[in-house]
Structure 1
Amino acid sequence: MQHKDKVLTAKDQKKVFRRLLSYTKKHKGLLIIAFLLLLLGTSAEIMGPILIKIFIDDYLTPRIFDTTAIITLTIVYLGLHVGSVICNYVQLFLFHKVALSIIREIRMDVFSKVQRLGLSFFDRTPAGGLVSRITNDTEAVKELYVTVLATFVQNFIFLIGIFVAMFYLNPQLAFFCLFLLPLIYIVMKTYRKYSSRFYADMSERLSQLNGKLNESIQGMTIIQIFRQEKRMRTEFEDINDQHQQAWLKNMKLDGLLLRPAVDFIAIVALMIVLSYFSIISLNSPVEIGVLYAFVNYLDRFFEPVNQLMMRLSLFQQAIVSAGRVFTLVDHDELAPEKIGSAHPKMKEGEVEFHNVSFSYDGKTEVLKDISFTVKKGQTLALVGHTGSGKSSIVNVLMRFYPLQKGEVYIDGQRLEAYSNEELRQNVGLVLQDPFMYTGDIASNIRLHNEMITDEEVVEAARFVHADSFIQQLQGGYHAPVAERGSTLSSGQRQLLSFARTMALKPKILVLDEATASVDTETEESIQDALYRMREGRTTIAIAHRLSTIKDADEILVLHQGEIVERGNHQQLLEKEGLYHKMYLLQQGGAEVIPL
């Protein structure tokens, strides 16, 4: 079931914002330079109306045309404008550079965390939702740094400069204009309160869209075979409509509280300024330059306010998205790790399960009091009907999930004592449906392990009889492999997974239905490879086809998470129990007997 994020409260949003700002600590130098340039550019831009005011009141109105003074004012005005353009360009570039660096860090943080999460998290979290957080949500956070923060800082400094200039021109009127700030604050606070809910809903719907899209693409074969196109379209359309409705709600809020509300306040401010100068003109003359400068500053005041309000939409979306990203980064459901300060090394690969019980959800036990021992060179086979617990034993041994009850030992050391590196390097796992990466044949065998040479890659492929089909491919070991190995047959993918495992030379070999995807002809050749692979190694094999495990040293028959029979092939047949019934059924020599 997909986790649904809570709506961030005002307190939560402040925490998220402070956490986002903490990423700027590594970039103090560039930010200081950017701020200094921002101050210079803003100061130069604010000085423009004052120079025009001087020109109007000191030269134009009294008809004093001092050529030298006017040319000086013109040069200074143009110089300030050019300087402002240069400063703003450089500071904007520096802000963007810092922003992109921070987003790169955040994306690496969240991707690294996903790599360390336990499989139990992925069991209930749709892949599309995770992709949405790593891509869409971090992209929204990028807008915060690239567009919003730089704009907020620039406009905030600009507003301060405008008020300084207003107080310089007319302190009394500037003081009256200060009363506009609480009105703007109320509009912004109201917007943030409601938009956070809408953006959280939009992000959730987008995650569901990505999840449904990922599910559709991965299962396209089944969708087309069973003619599920109409149902998938209906489900996708339903989520898409919900996403649209969430967007429409926020658009209505934007249309009401962003520009229209600020424009109304701007009209009120203009009325105050004009009324003030009208009243003054009744008793004394009004300086046209001062009036021009005030009206100009008011216009310049509300333009950044409008920009702030428009960016507030992006800011709110970024905060919500950042909250979703940090929720994933802070998720504590990590993959099981090594416990203890000891650093044991695997030498023989002897495996022992002692009274192991296991549950995925903490309620229903899928393994109940499992005990067995497999020594070096021996093969233990696990058989049983679907859901009997075979794969769960492998999951426990590979430490994909934390163990709740009992103990697992390797070479007499508890499983928890081994580091992940030691465990993964010495336990080779071959799954029923092997995963192939985009690349070439050699890289899929080597898995970018530079310790494995080209000669060892070829040797491993020959060992499992994969070399013959590889040589027939155009490019041989450098033949391209499409996503998930779609251009290869299931048998070829399985052979490559065998070669991948043997290239590591593991001490313990785990085969999970390893021959299920291999045709009969290929299976005959691979059985020889499996026999040689098992020599000198501890082998645990899950099998549905009982004919493939006749030579196992011990066979465990599982039923509903318990070991109901154990022994070799001949001993189990003589018991005429569950194994005997399964064997006869596969041989076609007996009726199906209800269990």
Structure 2
Amino acid sequence: MIDHKDRVLSSKEQRTVFKRLLSYAAHYKGQLMVAFLLLFIATGAQLLGPIIVKIFIDDYLTPRYFPTDVLFLLGAGYLVLHLTAVIIDYYQLFLFQKVALSIVQRLRIDVFSSVQRLGLSFFDQTPAGGLVSRITNDTESIKELYVTVLATFVQNIIFLIGIFAAMFYLNVTLAIYCLVLLPLIFALMQVYRKYSSRFYADMSEKLSLLNGRINESIQGMAIIQMFRQERRMRKEFSAINDEHFLAGMKSMKLDGLLLRPAVDVLSILALMLILSYFGIMSMDTAVEIGVVYAFVNYLDRFFEPVNQMMMRLSMFQQAIVSAGRVFKLMDHRELAPDREGNEHPAIIGEGNVEFRNVSFSYDGKTNVLKNISFTVKKGETVALVGHTGSGKTSIINVLMRFYPLQDGEILIDGKPLTSFENNELRAKVGLVLQDPFLYTGTIASNIRLYDQAISDDRIKRAASFVRADGFIERLSHGYETKVTERGATFSSGQRQLLSFARTMVREPAILILDEATASVDTETEEAIQEALERMKQGRTTIAIAHRLSTIKDADQILVLHQGEIVERGTHDELIAKKGLYQKMYVLQKGDEQGEALLS
């Protein structure tokens, strides 16, 4: 389980996260080399400007010597350098940001792919809103790191190196004095990183909780409105929102104290140092005004990139926190079960299924299945019945290999379940759930599920087979009718019919029906019972049913209670036993015939 309560990363862990982020740049070496080359050229052009002004002041303005041709060349050179810096700076910034967007695009695909490989046990325990927050909000913060922060840091660091080189060219002694600024600025950055990481981790945590609460509220809006829980939900949402606001305020206070104000104090001290130095020097020897101008100009240019980096340090810290959360999700190893061993993968043929002494636990402590054994062959139907929590759905979950099996063995065609690849298992085992899930798109795309190998004719045949073609063809756009999120514009029966068609279009060898008719009205149920019988023909069928009347013709009925099979047999055999099945049947039937059976 991924917890929203993420601990603050240590300095070492932050460096590891940063190195991992930079490793994504390795795929774009060529473009980055060109961008760096352009950056060096643009930086050089910007740094030469003050030197040209210094030459003009000391060599021509001070001695009042104004040769037209030389001054024209100096002016033209200054203008060309400025225009060159602007043009090249645009292209290098464009390249950096293009690479940055490509990196974030790759990162989002990686994290989404990692989530898809996780097992259902992970999703059982992790709020959907928190996952959405990591895939969207956290990767968006990382995007700002690449697009805004790193480009600014790289550009300004190179610019600062160039400034110090120019300072050493003008006056070595004063340049050495100015080097004292570097450890002060570095110390300021370290203090900021130490405290800001705590605030941004808190903000990210609260944002995940907000997304989780929003997702939960939207999914359960009907219940909220029915039970008039709007005020309570607003109050709870407001409480989390207030916590997010307070975390943001702490971060803003830190930014206001340690970013530009602190750097401005350092810049004033540095200016005082330079003016004092030249003032003292002027008492003993002449000071060139051009040198003073150039130093003050470089000093101003020195602190502007420092300010830019400090202002973006908050984005950097937020991105590191977000990246830590994203990488934690990507590194989570609660993967979906897959084929084991190096032997040639098995192929499902007949579809015979056998459970041998299967026991299973979701939490590793309490078994929800205990020594389950049964066999169902091609063309046969086994029905699973029992009260809620008896283990019916768990049998389906381990057969579909949604969860790893702890004890016992499941065989398909006499071969262990672990010998089949997931692709083979998903292609040959059809599953119809009680609550059908439809995706945004069209009716055709929901039946096809974007498998282009499935033709339109196969879609229509599948829909006709399950009796879904009647209502589809009455729609104005037929199979191209738009489907909204979760198929909200269709009735529960229509959604179930579409899920039937989606399963049958793949012609599975094994058919699993998990309360497949529970969401279907009586009239629709009667219409699809014939289709269900045809679906079962020539297939291994395992059906979970609450309506016992729908499985009276099953070849074998397994009655489960607290994870164990307590009765098995045909409908008539189980009625004759007068056990748990008979009581369930009588309670459902609730008529004179049922009372007679009970007596």
Question: What TM-score bracket applies, with the shorter chain setting the length?
Answer: over 0.9
Equivalence map 1:506-545=2 (5 Å): 506-545=508-547
2: CA distance, partners of 1:508 / 1:252: 62
Question: SS at 1:62's partner residue?
Answer: coil
Distance across 1 between alignment mates of 2:154 and 2:526: 71
- Within 2, Cα distance between the matches of 1:363 and 1:187? 51
Correspondence for 1:439 among 433, 438, 441: 441
Matches within 5 A, 1:113-512: 113-340=114-341, 341-512=343-514
In the alignment, the residues of structure 1 paired with residue 282 and residue 2 of structure 2 have an alpha-carbon distance, to the nearest angstrom, of 68
1:254-275 alpha-carbon deviations (Å, 9 max, x no partner): 0111111111111110111111
User: 2-side partners of 1:402 and 1:168: how far apart?
Assistant: 69
SS in 1 for 2:255: helix
- C-alpha distance in 2, partners of 1:466/1:33? 59
Give identity over the alignment, percent: 70
How many residues in Structure 1 have an aligned counterpart in Structure 2?
591
Deviation at 1:2, TM superposition (A): 5.6
Correspondence for 1:550: 552
**Match in the other structure for 1:83:** 84
> Structure 1 pair 451/210, CA: closer, same or farther in 2 (3 Å)?
same
Q: Which residue number in structure 2 is paired with residue 39 of structure 1?
A: 40
Q: CA deviation at 1:586?
A: 0.4
CA RMSD of superposed structures (Å): 0.9
CA contact (8 A) 2:2 2:329 kept: no
Q: SS state of the match for residue 48, structure 2?
A: helix
Give the counterpart of 1:572 among 559, 571, 574: 574
Residue 22 of structure 2: SS of its match in structure 1?
helix
Paired with 1:279 and 1:346, the residues of 2 have a C-alpha distance of 92
2 CA distance for matches of 1:155 and 1:239? Answer: 38
Instruction: Give 1:107's aligned residue.
Output: 108
Q: Counterpart of 1:25?
A: 26
Shift of 1:342: 2.0
CA distance in 2, matches of 1:196, 1:238: 23
Distance, in Å, in 2 between the alignment partners of 1:2 and 1:342 is 35
Superposed displacement of residue 5, structure 1: 2.0
For 1:550 and 1:221, the matched residues in 2 are separated by 35
SS at 1:8 equivalent: coil
Which amino acid counterpart does residue 488 of structure 1 have in structure 2? F
The CA distance in 2 between the partners of 1:387 and 1:10, in whole Å, is 48
SS of alignment partner, residue 355 of structure 2: strand
Give the whole-Å Cα distance in 2 for the aligned partners of 1:319 and 1:217. 31
Residues of 1 paired with 2:187 and 2:265: CA distance? Answer: 14
State the shift of 1:502 in Å: 0.7
Paired residues of 2:144 and 2:315 also in contact (CA < 8 A): yes
Residue 364 of structure 1 and its aligned partner are, at CA, apart by 1.0
Letter in 2 for 1:537: R
Alignment-mate amino acid for residue 366 of structure 1:
V
User: Structure 2 counterpart of 1:583, which letter?
Assistant: Y
CA–CA separation in structure 2 for the residues paired with 1:186 and 1:253: 15
Deviations 1:368-388 (A, max 9, x none): 110000011100000000000
Q: Distance in 1 between matches of 2:13 and 2:520?
A: 54
Q: What code does the residue aligned with 2:565 have? A: I
Q: How many angstroms apart in 2 are the aligned matches of 1:479 and 1:370?
A: 44
Equivalent-residue separation in structure 1 for 2:230 and 2:407 (angstroms): 45
Query: What is the TM-score normalised by the length of structure 2?
Result: 0.98
Could you tell me how far apart the structure 2 residues matched to 1:182 and 1:268 are? 14
The CA deviation string for residues 190-219 of structure 1, in whole angstroms up to 9 with x for no partner, is 000111111111111111111111111111
Q: Secondary structure at the match of 1:137?
A: helix
**TM-score, length-scaled by structure 1:** 0.98
Contact 2:512-2:543 within 8 A present in 1 as well: yes
| Residue identity opposite 2:87 in structure 1 | I
The CA deviation at 1:452 is: 1.5
SS in 2 for 1:367: strand
1:6: how far off?
2.1
- Read off the aligned partner of 1:91 and give its amino acid letter: Q
Match of 1:406, SS? strand
- The DSSP-based 3-state class of the residue aligned with 2:373 is strand
Give distance in 2, aligned partners of 1:248 and 1:517: 49
Deviation at 1:545, TM superposition (A): 0.5
User: What is the Cα deviation at residue 7 of structure 1?
Assistant: 1.2
Deviation at 1:231, TM superposition (A): 1.1
Gaps of 5+ in 1: none
Distance 1:290 1:450 in 2: 72
Residues 262-301 of structure 1, C-alpha deviations (whole Å, 9 max, x = no match): 1111111011111111111111122111111111111100
Question: What is the distance in 2 between the residues matched to 1:173 and 1:450?
Answer: 72
Q: Which runs of 5+ in 2 are unaligned?
A: none
Find 1:588's aligned residue among 587, 590, 599: 590
In 2, Cα distance between the equivalents of 1:329 and 1:88? 36
Give the counterpart letter for 1:535 in structure 2. Q
